[in-house]
Amino acid sequence: MADNKVRVRFAPSPTGGLHLGGVRTVLFNYLFAKKHGGDFILRIEDTDQSRYVEGAEQYILDCMEWCGLTPDESPVVGGPYAPYRQSERKPLYREYAEKLVAEGHAYYAFDTPEELAKKREDVPNFQYGHGHRYDMRNSLTLPLHEVEKLLHDGTPHVIRIKMPEDDSISFKDMIRGYVSFETNQVDDKVLLKADGMPTYHLAVVVDDYLMKITHALRGEEWLPSAPVHLLLWEYLGWKDSMPQWAHLPLILKPDGHGKLSKRDGARLGFPVYAMNWEDQKTGELTPGFRELGFLPEAFLNLLAMLGWNDGTDQEVFSLDELVEKFSMERVSKAGAKFDFEKAKWFNAEWIKKLDAESLKQKVKAVFADKGITVSDDAKLLKVIELVKDRCVLLTDFYAQGAYFFEQPAEYDLNAVKPKWTDAKTDFFKELKAKYTTADAWQATDLEAQFKEFTNEKGFKIGDVMLPFRIMLVGGKFGPHVFDIAEMLGRDETVVRIEKALEAFTA
C-alpha cells in the first residue's frame, strides 16, 4: 500500500433489515479502524436492482446511528472517493470488465435465460465453468465476426470471468491462516450483467482498489467467492494493492447447528435484527433489539463477545474499551452460538452500569408509549435509581416504576384475601391515621414507626408488610417498600391505603 493508513469498509446491500451478523461486521470493522487510527467507510452495494428494497438504505444508516458506529465516509457524509453508492458508479465498471475480456481473462456470454434453464434441466449440478463453457453460446465458442455482430446489434449478454483450469489459489486470512481453493471447483462467475450493472464480484474489487481499502473484514459466507476476487486483483494488475482479508465467524443458532436466521428468531421468540424492520411490499414487521428494550451499549457489547474475547474474564465493555482491547488475533475461527438469555444479561448489566441521567430520555419514552407523561424529571431520576437494578429490558421500567406516577388499577388480591382478617383492617385504618399526622416522611422513620406499631398490635412483620406493599404498588414487586412510600409522599400513601382497603374488604 502506498498509503499506510488503515481503511476498512462495510458494504451492505439495501435488500432488507440488518441482521445482527451484519451489525457485528460493522462493529469489527469500526473497532479495527479506530484501534489503528484509520477510516471506516460505508459503501452501499446496490448493483442488484431486482433485490433493491425501498427504505432499506435509510434503515441501515439508522441502525448504525443507533449503535453509535458513525462512518468517516458514506453516501450521507461524502468523502474523497465519492460516490459511495455503486449504482452511481455504474459507468466505471464496464471499462474494467472489457479490459479483462481483451486480455483473455473474461469473455462475453450470450446465452438466454431460457437456454441456461434448459441446460440446468439437462445437466445435474450444472456449473458454467471449465466443464461446460465450451458447450455454451459465448465468445470462446463463436467465431469472432459473429461475436462482433452480436455486440454491434446490442444483443443482451453478460461478461464472465474465465477461471483457470487445474490450478489452486491460496491466500492468508487474518483469522484462518492459509486458505486454498481448487479452481476447477469454482464456476465462471458473471462480472457484468446484461443491464450493464456489475455483480458484487467485480464491483467489490474495483471499489476496494479505487477507495484504497487496506483490510477487508467480511462474513465467512463470502469465503467461497474469495478465489474469484483474488484472481480479479491479479488480472487487473492490482495484486500489490490487494487488502488483507479476514472472514469473520458465523453467528450460529442457539443449538450450534447452522447459521442464525430471521426464521430462527421468529421460531424461538427473539429478534435477530438491530431495529424493527417493516417490509414495504408485504407489510411484514420483523422485530428488532431496540424496540424490545435493548440499550445500544449492551447490543454492541453482546455482539463483540460473539466470536471475540480479550483473553480475560471481562465481559462488560464500553465501545471505547472495545476499541482499546480489540485485536484480530483474538477473533475465533469457529462460529459463535447465539444465546438470548446471555444477551438479556448484558442488557441488565448495562442498565445497572448507566446512571439515571443517561437512561432518563429512554425511560421517559417507555412511559410515554404506555400513556404516562412524566413532567417531573427530578422524580423520574429518583425512580430510575430505585428500580433500575430490577430491569432487564428498558420496557421493564414501566412494570417496575409506573406505580410512582399512577395509582394501581388492580391489586394482587390472591396474595392478600386468603389471610385477610378484621384485625388487619383495623391495623391499616390506624396506620393510615398515624401516617396522616406523621411529622417526618423519610423511609427510615416510616419503617421504624411501622415496625413499632406492628409489635404493639401483636402481628409478625411478614403478616402486614406484604399487604402494605400491594396497597402501594398493586403486586408483590418493587424496591424497599418504605423507599416507595417516601417517594409517593404522605398524601398519596394515605390515599392508596384507603383505596386498597376498600378492595381488600369488598
Q: Give the separation between CA 234 and CA 455, rounded to whole angstroms.
A: 88
Q: Give the separation between CA 3 and CA 48, rounded to whole angstroms.
A: 32
User: Active-site residue among 35, 262, 360, 382?
Assistant: 262
| CA 213 from centroid of its chain's CA atoms | 24
Cα torsion through 60, 64, 70, 74, rounded to 10: -10
Q: What are the two backbone dihedrals, phi and then psi, of residue 171, each rounded to the nearest 5 degrees?
A: -150, 165
420: left (phi over 0), alpha (psi -120 to 50) or beta: beta
> Any idea how long the chain is?
506
Query: Prior bond to 124 cis, omega within 30?
Result: no
Q: Which of 42, 33, 41, 43 is nearest to 5 (CA)?
A: 33
Residue 234: DSSP 8-state:
H
- DSSP letters, 162-188, are -PPSS-EEEEEETTTEEEEEEGGGS--
- Beta-carbon contacts of residue 105 (< 8 Å; ≥ 6 apart): 161, 162, 231, 235
Amino acid in position 221: E
Residue 99 appears among annotated catalytic residues = no
* SS3 track for 384-428: HHHHHHHCCCCCHHHHHHHHHCCCCCCCCHHHCHHHCCHHHHHHH
Cα angle vertex 411, ends 410, 417, to 5°? 140
Strand partners, 78: 74
Q: What are the two backbone dihedrals, phi and then psi, of residue 461, each rounded to the nearest 5 degrees?
A: -60, -35
Q: Give the separation between CA 60 and CA 447, rounded to whole angstroms.
A: 52
Q: Give the separation between CA 301 and CA 118, rounded to whole angstroms.
A: 50
CA atoms within 13 A on the CB side of 238: 21
Cell numbers for 140, please give them: 470462446
Residue with cell 484509520: 38
Residue 44: DSSP 8-state:
B
> Exposure string (b/e) for 232-244, b if CB count within 10 Å is 16 or more?
bbebbeeeeebbb
Residue 195: DSSP 8-state:
T
Residues labelled as active-site residues: 262
